[in-house]
Structure 1
Amino acid sequence: MPLLLAPPPSAARPLLALTFGVAELNALLRAFCARGRVAEARALFHRYCDTYPPDARTFNTLLLGFKEAGNAQALDLFYHDAVLRGFVPDSVSYCVRMDAYCKKGRFLDALDLLDEMRKRENCRPTLQVFTTLIYGAGIVRNATRARQLFDEMGQGGVTPDRGAHNALMGAYVRARDLQSGMTVMSEMERKGIGLDDVSYNTMLCGFQRIGDLEGIWKVYSKMVGSGFMPRTRTTMLLMKVFCENARPDLGLELWDYLLGKGCVPHRHALDVLVTGLCCRGMVLEAYRCFREMIEMGMTPTERAFRVLEGFFKRKREFEKLEEIRQMMKATQLEEHQCDEEAA
């Protein structure tokens, strides 16, 4: 009796027919735009737009691609071409164009789009639109207009979120009105919105720019008092300000605060702190921070090691000198082994 062989998997389960439509075209355009290949994305659009009629997402994807590429002129040309093809812009389209204009300093052009948007039916300005315009007002240092736009949000039934408050705060900082910026920060706390790293970093940068150490201290105290965990950029800013102004003790306080929160500061923060501490004669404190980073599983930079090594040589602390050399060798060996295993 002949054996009955089972049919191969391909025969038993026929392949599904693959289709290509506007959704797939949109995904392809997004992929090209994400890699900055906007010209190729536009060429694909022109090649397939008749076969696969585009929708609003198609046009907005390309508008966003031109905006991210910083090519406002190409964005305008494509937009007007799209309108001729029957494209009806929505709030996303307007927001993308506004953002492109604002980043080029064309704030008045962005405001014209707001007026145009308000004249259209079913195209009310959104939270993102207002936030974008407030940010644009900050770029041209027009804090008064930024505040007006912020107030218009409430009048239009739009509730400002943390991003809108941060944009307003940034506008005040760019206009060097730090007091009003601090008032916005207090408003956020009073409303229960909460501050994030953008909030703190914005105010710290503003005070750093005008050399107001007291202002920096106020913001830093507020941050630590609330138990907030700053991101690397804010940590670096504070560490540089403290150490460059002969207050490495405050940098050490920040270091201990971060470790107490279970966070290992960036290696470059250790560079700044070790240099600042050693220059003020606090070599043992610098050694302690160096050792703590290693104990937390991080390898200090060669710069931090060389600074500490140099000061131990001057003080003839040969035992400590040998200790940090052995610690560096051990961590570098472990790092090398991890790289080999990953390869």
Structure 2
Amino acid sequence: MARKAEARAVFEALAEDDAISYNAMIEGYARLGDLTGAVEIFRKMRYCSLKPSLLTFVSLLGVSSSRSDLELSKQIHGLIVKSGTSLDLYAGSALIDVYSKFSLVDDAKVVFSLMHNRDMVIWNAMIFGLAQNERGEEAVKLFNQLRISGLTPNEFTFVALVAVASTLASMSHGQQFHAQIIKEGADSDPHVSNALIDMYAKCGFIEEGLQLFESTSGKDVICWNSMILTYAQHGHAEEALRVFGMMGGAGVEPNYVTFVAVLSACAHAGLVNEGLQYFNSMNTKYTVEPGTEHYASVVNLFGRAGKLHAAKEFIERMPIEPAAVVWRSLLSACHLFGNVEIGTYAAEMALLADPMDSGPSVLMSNIYASKGLWADAQKLRQGMDCAGVAKEAGYSW
């Protein structure tokens, strides 16, 4: 922070304004992820009638993309087009990334089509954009085009492709990609291994995932988490907890995600006491601060076991403000056991936490209906309003 202030002081003390110093300041703010500072300098640059270079736009796009700021990214894109400047690889990949994050895949594809000298960063950005928007078949077709282009796919390409196979739950695609990964020698990359383990799990091939897990050397925490989650999601709580124990034996410290997986495994198996012990160990044995997902998992742990009063009391003792998802976990348990009293309370609290979510009202209506309280169910459904999403303020240059 001190160096940033010093740089700003030097910049303000300059006798003459020039594009080079403005670009340097914008790039500096962008590197620090300071969107407000970068935009402020850019506005001043425009006010001084200085022409931004492509470097200026690339710096702004980098920070707007990392912050998932669609409005700013679109405005910068418009300014690039207006200036007659051609997109370079960095600007193109940043635009593809931010458009994909907001599911504007067709806009991302337009940017991709304008990039003639594509490198692997551009190809990967587009393949990953298609993958994250569940347009798997298009991602596979694009990968085939990549192979024809003569470029060699790298580990990032394969992570995106394996994600496609996971989304499609297609073992035929997954096995083809795995074979290609081995051929290219990318199977030793931990990110690729983690993605493959996740893919085999989502396709229901747990044993294959386990074999891959056991053959992976230098397992990081993500790799361990993938295997614990795999067992937890398929109802194999004992195996999930066994892997967690092995993780400690291997000297790998668990993280936030690890405990979400462990608590989920305990909840699905009805291991209430064990789950509470793991939850309490986060602070006492490990340096992992419990977050909303952990609290929701404990509520789910109590709820699945039918301990609805204990779940309610746990929420009321939370040291942080319970988020809507925590109350929804309790409400789901009330729906499972048909508890109208606690369910009504949980629904009210969930709506207070997130008034835009109609889910609690729907669940509560279903609870009423399951108990034959048709008048209450009808009244609740009639009172449900359709809520809109607030529009964020845009940027004015």
Amino acid at match of 2:118: P
SS at match of 2:55: helix
Q: What is residue 224 of structure 2 aligned with on the other side?
A: 235
C-alpha offsets along residues 235-263 of structure 1, whole Å, 9 cap, x if unaligned? Answer: 34533553575644423442343344332
Amino acid at match of 1:180: H
Instruction: Report matched runs for 1:98-109 at 5 Å.
Output: 98-109=96-107
Amino acid at match of 2:53: D
Rounded to whole Å, the distance in 2 between the matches of 1:145 and 1:245 is 29
Asked whether 1:136 is paired with 2:126, we answer: no
Rounded to whole Å, the distance in 2 between the matches of 1:254 and 1:49 is 62
Q: What is residue 35 of structure 2 aligned with on the other side?
A: 36
Mark the CA change 1:40 to 1:258 in structure 2 (over 3 Å): closer, same or farther: same
**In the alignment, is the contact (CA less than 8 A) between 2:200 and 2:206 conserved in 1?**
yes
**In the alignment, is the contact (CA less than 8 A) between 2:61 and 2:73 conserved in 1?**
yes
Rounded to whole Å, the distance in 1 between the matches of 2:70 and 2:256 is 39
Mark the CA change 1:87 to 1:201 in structure 2 (over 3 Å): closer, same or farther: same
TM-score (norm 2): 0.55
Rounded to whole Å, the distance in 2 between the matches of 1:100 and 1:267 is 26
Amino acid at match of 2:221: R
Asked whether 1:95 is paired with 2:88, we answer: no
Mark the CA change 1:92 to 1:275 in structure 2 (over 3 Å): closer, same or farther: closer
Rounded to whole Å, the distance in 2 between the matches of 1:95 and 1:298 is 39
CA displacement at 1:282 relative to structure 2:
11
Instruction: Report matched runs for 1:117-132 at 5 Å.
Output: 117-118=115-116, 124-132=117-125
Q: What is residue 334 of structure 2 aligned with on the other side?
A: none
Amino acid at match of 2:183: R
Rounded to whole Å, the distance in 2 between the matches of 1:269 and 1:111 is 36
Instruction: Report matched runs for 1:1-343 at 5 Å.
Output: 22-33=19-30, 34-37=33-36, 39-48=39-48, 50=50, 53-118=51-116, 124-206=117-199, 212=204, 215-232=205-222, 234-242=223-231, 247-266=236-255, 269=258, 272=263, 298=286
Mark the CA change 1:269 to 1:179 in structure 2 (over 3 Å): closer, same or farther: same
**In the alignment, is the contact (CA less than 8 A) between 1:185 and 1:199 conserved in 2?**
no
Rounded to whole Å, the distance in 2 between the matches of 1:85 and 1:301 is 48
Rounded to whole Å, the distance in 1 between the matches of 2:28 and 2:198 is 35
Rounded to whole Å, the distance in 2 between the matches of 1:171 and 1:31 is 36
Count of aligned pairs = 273
Amino acid at match of 2:253: V
Mark the CA change 1:75 to 1:150 in structure 2 (over 3 Å): closer, same or farther: same
C-alpha offsets along residues 45-96 of structure 1, whole Å, 9 cap, x if unaligned? Answer: 313552xx53321121122333334343443333333343353321222222
**In the alignment, is the contact (CA less than 8 A) between 1:138 and 1:175 conserved in 2?**
no
Amino acid at match of 1:29: I
Rounded to whole Å, the distance in 2 between the matches of 1:240 and 1:260 is 18
CA displacement at 1:134 relative to structure 2:
0.7
Mark the CA change 1:76 to 1:223 in structure 2 (over 3 Å): closer, same or farther: same
C-alpha offsets along residues 203-223 of structure 1, whole Å, 9 cap, x if unaligned? Answer: 45456556x2xx233213212
Rounded to whole Å, the distance in 2 between the matches of 1:265 and 1:23 is 46
**In the alignment, is the contact (CA less than 8 A) between 1:243 and 1:251 conserved in 2?**
yes
Amino acid at match of 1:25: Y
SS at match of 1:87: coil
Rounded to whole Å, the distance in 2 between the matches of 1:248 and 1:81 is 54
Does 127-136 or 185-194 show the bigger shift? 185-194
Coordinate RMSD, CA, aligned: 4.2
Does 71-80 or 125-134 show the bigger shift? 71-80
SS at match of 2:35: coil
Q: Which structure has the bigger radius of gyration?
A: 1
Amino acid at match of 1:103: K
C-alpha offsets along residues 111-140 of structure 1, whole Å, 9 cap, x if unaligned? Answer: 23333233xxxxx01101111111122234
